[in-house]
Amino acid sequence: MARRRGFSLAECLLVLLIIATMAGALCVHLAGVSEEAAVRKEAEALAAWLEGNMTRALTEETGFKLQAYWAGEDCGTVELRLTRSGAEGNELQEVYRAERAVIKKHSEASLFTYSCRWHSFTPALTLYVRPLGAARENFYKVTVSGYGFVSVAPGTFVLAPENS
């Protein structure tokens, strides 16, 4: 009886197919994880930007106005423009645009006011930060309460276009 050496072509192809399937599943999983992390980082950056501006307003004893604008072709993308009084009485503007995600506002209001005297935000602001591209179930919610507290929380439902 002849002794068999090595593997047949079918066996080699089967092993390569299994390895390719496992690598593909790993890539799909890692892509979802990195997308989730990017959206979380964007939501945390937005919350830090809002908190930083409220802290600055408290320190300088000035309020500010925050306006939400539709930016770009995707009607859900919001550009936030913050206007506050400068030291010399002039108006200073700061703009926040999301780089790694899409921001949607919750309410119909587009002008929000922060009062340093009362440390209040009127009306309360809720922004949804979701992945770029098609609407997904995974997103983060950035909320500024009427009392000026900023929170970031994960969301779990699909955003409807009429709520944007």
pTM score > 0.95 for this model?
no
Residue pLDDT tens, the chain, 164 long:
567 788 888 999 999 999 999 988 887 777 666 777 888 898 999 999 999 988 888 888 888 888 887 655 555 667 888 888 766 767 888 889 887 788 887 777 778 888 878 878 888 888 888 887 655 567 889 988 888 789 999 876 554 544 44
How far CA 79 is from CA of 30, 35, 97, in Å, comes to: 29, 21, 5
Residue 152 lies in a domain: yes
Residue identified by tokens 């944007």 is 164
Measuring CA to CA, which residue among 123, 126, 103 is closest to residue 113? Answer: 123
Residue 4 lies in a domain: no
Name the DSSP letter for residue 161: G
Q: What is the CATH number of the domain that holds 88?
A: 3.55.40.10
Residue 3 lies in a domain: no
HSE value, Cβ hemisphere, 13 Å, CA-based, for 115: 8
Query: Which residue range is the domain that position 89 belongs to?
Result: 9-163
Residue 1 lies in a domain: no
Residue 55 lies in a domain: yes
Residue 42 lies in a domain: yes
Return d(Cα 130, Cα 20) in angstroms, integer: 31
Residue identified by tokens 């922060």 is 114
Residue 98 lies in a domain: yes
Structural domains in the chain (count): 1
> Judging by DSSP bridges, how do beta strands 101-105 and 111-115 pair with one another?
unpaired
The tokens for 60 are 């300088």
Residue 2 lies in a domain: no
